[in-house]
A = this chain, B = another copy of it.
Amino acid sequence: MRVHGGRLEALLRRVGRLPGESLARALERAIEVGQLAHLEQLETRILRDGTLATVYLGFARPGTELTGDWRVVGTRTPPEERELVGAAQARLRAKLSYTNLGFALAPEVFTISELRELYVAALGHDVSATNLQRVLLRRGALERVDGHRAPGRTGGRPAALFRFASQRLEVTDEFAALRPPR
């Protein structure tokens, strides 16, 4: 998945097992990370045609060129695959809230406003730039980067630049509920 043109976009790609190929080799080929910023396994199920399918969810940052025969999920995507995409979206939305998964959607360096637009696209609802910055900074997920981005045509204060402190998935919240006593 990626955020493209202000919208969350799902891309699908099927990788089959070649005749005579070992399972391990086929799996390696299937999950070839390449330009994906993050990859995780979803579920394994048996498709209607009887084949065993292991589904992976990956994220591409804006600007990365995707090699391979990807196709964008649209209205003509079969229901079975749309269902998988729905599960992937739900997973993404949940993890955005309590992990640093944003790094997989964002470019190397960005302003808070740009990050906010990514979150809006991914979550499907409005997000306050103020809160986003405060929450992510307090968790230590974001770091300041030297320099500012020049304002656009219409003016405005130059935006500070940030980056994600870690490029690997990290759960930032141990869930307040039922936390161990001090």
Residues of A within 8 A of B (CB): 22-24, 27, 41, 43-44, 46, 50, 52, 54, 94, 96-98, 119, 123, 125-128, 131-132, 135, 173, 175-181
Bound complex: CA of A175 vs CA of B93, how far in Å? Answer: 10
**B94 adjacent to A175 (CB under 8 Å):** yes
- What would 20 A/B residue contacts be, using CB atoms closer than 8 Å? A23-B46, A23-B50, A24-B46, A24-B50, A41-B43, A41-B44, A44-B44, A52-B52, A96-B178, A98-B177, A119-B178, A123-B178, A123-B180, A125-B181, A126-B181, A127-B178, A128-B181, A131-B178, A173-B177, A176-B176
Bound complex: CA of A98 vs CA of B128, how far in Å? Answer: 24
Bound complex: CA of A25 vs CA of B77, how far in Å? Answer: 28
Number of chain copies forming the complex: 2
Query: Which of B98, B132, B179, B181 is within 8 Å of A175, CB to CB?
Result: B98
**B41 adjacent to A180 (CB under 8 Å):** no
| Residue of B whose beta carbon sits closest to that of A53 | B44
Instruction: Please give, as numbers and ranges, the residues of chain B lying within 8 Å of A44 by CB-CB distance.
Output: 41, 44, 54
Instruction: Please give, as numbers and ranges, the residues of chain B lying within 8 Å of A127 by CB-CB distance.
Output: 178
Chain B nearest CB: distance from A171 CB in Å?
8
Instruction: Please give, as numbers and ranges, the residues of chain B lying within 8 Å of A22 by CB-CB distance.
Output: 50
**A178 adjacent to B135 (CB under 8 Å):** yes
Chain B nearest CB: distance from A54 CB in Å?
5
Instruction: Please give, as numbers and ranges, the residues of chain B lying within 8 Å of A24 by CB-CB distance.
Output: 46, 50
Chain B nearest CB: distance from A96 CB in Å?
7
| Residue of B whose beta carbon sits closest to that of A175 | B97
Bound complex: CA of A52 vs CA of B173, how far in Å? Answer: 33
| Residue of B whose beta carbon sits closest to that of A172 | B177
**A180 adjacent to B43 (CB under 8 Å):** no
